[in-house]
């Protein structure tokens, strides 16, 4: 059995989510599935990526083969077409998983395999329940059989609370359908499967966080509801450091002087802060916030220095290796098209 992972935006997939690359949890869970013998990374943005540095970024000791598929293809149906052309998913005649990297869930792969075998039809999709949202594809499901009766493509008002998480288990027969590039499965293939009675659903237990639709920062804030805070003892016990709400700080980070951190802050490895405030933000590897710095509602990429006397306001995104002006006071305003909302 194989798993095809659409690596949506290669750079983001290899950024750290807490202490591991975002791709790592998906790979790690797949390696626990006995039936899976190959994981195929479908990579669409690969100018600066090679198979070697991808595997270094994942750093996962496993006997499962991890291979790659490169193309300028940005849709899930298009990736099936590419894999079909290259014969990558049909060699063993077994069902295969199709998923993407910008989703955070507690993947129930083994349960999906069991349910897929039980209903005996062409496709199984993982569904989740949401209160509201305009960007999701939604479904109507028979409560007794879990068969998907109708499939509705977004964006638009939800017809019900159940949405498509874009995590699928397909029989190889799906590749015999009319696949082309680019192609979104929700626009044609999935509605057809529903009409035929060949699409079944399995409810997700736990959180569903879509970092693409929610935005990277807001998605992680939602994820905080389901995770335990992590604060090194040296920082937790520092009398001049105020921790507010949900905070996750890597053990290699250091804090000096009067600081306020939180709520909803994730801080990566080798981070340094001095007499500053950080809230509602994600700070990645080797970021420094110097004295009297202020960061709110932002994403700060690796190897970046903020401050001193610098305020970074929502919803700014600071790229890698940016050094703010240390000679004069500076205010970093949000971009004209906000990111992460």
Convert the pLDDT of each residue in 113-155 to its tens digit: 999 999 999 999 999 987 665 567 889 999 999 999 999 987 6
Residue 101 and residue 20 in contact, taking contact as beta carbons nearer than 8 Å = no
And the tokens for 173?
């027969």
Tell me, yes or no, whether 216 lies in a domain.
no
Nearest one of 45, 39, 56 to 107, comparing CA atoms: 39
| Residue 180 confidence (pLDDT) above 80 | no
Torsion of CA 331, 333, 339, 341, to 10 degrees: 100
Where do the H-state alpha helices sit in the chain? 10-14, 24-30, 51-58, 76-85, 109-119, 189-196, 216-223, 233-236
3 state DSSP class of 217: helix
Question: Do 173 and 124 have their domain in common?
Answer: yes
> Does residue 341 lie within any of the structural domains?
no
Question: Is 31 domain-assigned?
Answer: yes
Return the pLDDT at 225. Answer: 62
Whether 215 is in a domain gets the answer: no
Specify whether 151 is located in the same domain as 52: yes
- For 180-208, letters b (16+ CB in 10 Å) and e give ebebbbbebbbbebbeeebbbbbebeebb
Transcribe 60-85 into DSSP letters. Answer: ---SSEEEEEE-S--SHHHHHHHHHH
Distance of CA 326 to the CA centre of its chain: 34
Average pLDDT, the chain: 79
* 217 assigned to some structural domain: no
Given a contact cutoff of 8 angstroms between Cβ atoms, the answer to whether 106 and 10 are in contact is no
CATH of the domain at 296: 2.160.10
Range name among 29-38, 130-139, 199-208 with the lowest pLDDT average: 130-139
Its sign, for the CA torsion 142, 146, 150, 154, is positive
> Is 340 part of a structural domain of the chain?
no
User: Are 195 and 159 found together in one domain?
Assistant: yes
290 contacts: CB under 8 Å, gap ≥ 6: 274, 276, 305, 306, 307, 308, 310, 326
Total domains present in the chain: 2
Q: Are residues 92 and 149 in the same domain?
A: yes
Q: Is residue 221 part of a domain?
A: no
Identify the domain boundary among 180, 210, 240.
210
Residue 339 lies in a domain: no
- 204 and 319 in a single domain? The answer is no
Full-model pTM: 0.71
199 and 272, same domain (yes or no): no
Between 319 and 29, where is the model more confident?
29
Residue 79: is its pLDDT beyond 50?
Answer: yes
pLDDT of residue 334: 42
CATH number of 123's domain = 3.90.550.10
Handedness of CA 174, 175, 176, 177 (dihedral sign): positive
The two tokens of residue 87 are 């014969």
- For 145, residues 6+ apart whose C-beta sits below 8 A from its C-beta are 119, 200
Cis peptide before 314 (omega within 30 of 0): no
pLDDT at 327: 36
Q: What is the pLDDT of residue 182?
A: 77
Least trusted range by pLDDT, from 103-117, 153-167, 170-184, 261-275: 153-167
Domain that holds residue 38: 2-210
**Which among 184, 210, 236 is the end of a domain?**
210
**What is the helix (H) or strand (E) element at residue 210, kind and residue range?**
strand 209-210
Of 169, 176, 26, give the one whose Cα is nearest residue 97: 169
């Amino acid at each position: 059995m194989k798993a095809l992972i659409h690596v949506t935006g290669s750079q983001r997939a290899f950024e750290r989510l807490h202490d591991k690359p975002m791709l790592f949890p998906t790979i790690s869970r797949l390696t626990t599935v006995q039936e899976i013998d190959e994981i195929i990374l479908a990579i669409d943005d690969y100018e600066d990526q090679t198979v070697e540095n991808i595997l270094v970024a994942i750093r996962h000791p496993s006997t499962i083969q991890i291979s790659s598929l490169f193309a300028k293809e940005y849709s899930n149906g298009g990736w099936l077409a590419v894999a079909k052309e290259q014969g990558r998913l049909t060699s063993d005649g077994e069902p295969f998983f199709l998923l993407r990297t910008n989703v955070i869930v507690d993947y129930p792969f083994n349960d999906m395999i069991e349910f897929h075998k039980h209903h005996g039809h062409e496709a199984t999709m993982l569904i989740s329940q949401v209160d509201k949202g305009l960007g999701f594809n939604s479904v109507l499901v028979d409560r007794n059989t879990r068969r998907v009766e109708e499939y509705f493509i977004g964006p638009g008002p939800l017809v019900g609370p159940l949405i498509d998480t874009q995590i699928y288990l397909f029989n190889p027969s799906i590749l015999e359908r009319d696949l082309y590039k680019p192609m979104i499965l929700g626009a044609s293939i999935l509605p057809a499967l529903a009409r035929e009675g060949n699409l079944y659903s399995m409810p997700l237990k736990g959180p569903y966080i879509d970092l693409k639709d929610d935005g990277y920062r807001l998605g992680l804030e939602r994820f905080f509801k389901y995770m335990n805070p992590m604060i090194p003892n040296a920082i937790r016990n520092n009398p001049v450091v105020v921790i507010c709400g949900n905070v996750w700080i890597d053990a290699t980070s250091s804090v000096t002087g009067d600081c306020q951190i939180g709520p909803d802050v994730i801080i990566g490895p080798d981070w340094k802060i001095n007499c500053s405030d950080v809230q509602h933000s994600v700070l990645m590897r080797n970021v420094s916030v110097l004295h009297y710095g202020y960061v709110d509602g932002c994403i700060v990429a690796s190897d970046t220095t903020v401050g001193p006397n610098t305020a970074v306001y929502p919803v700014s995104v600071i790229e890698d290796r940016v050094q703010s002006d240390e000679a004069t006071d500076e205010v970093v305003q949000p971009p004209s098209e906000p990111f992460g909302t």
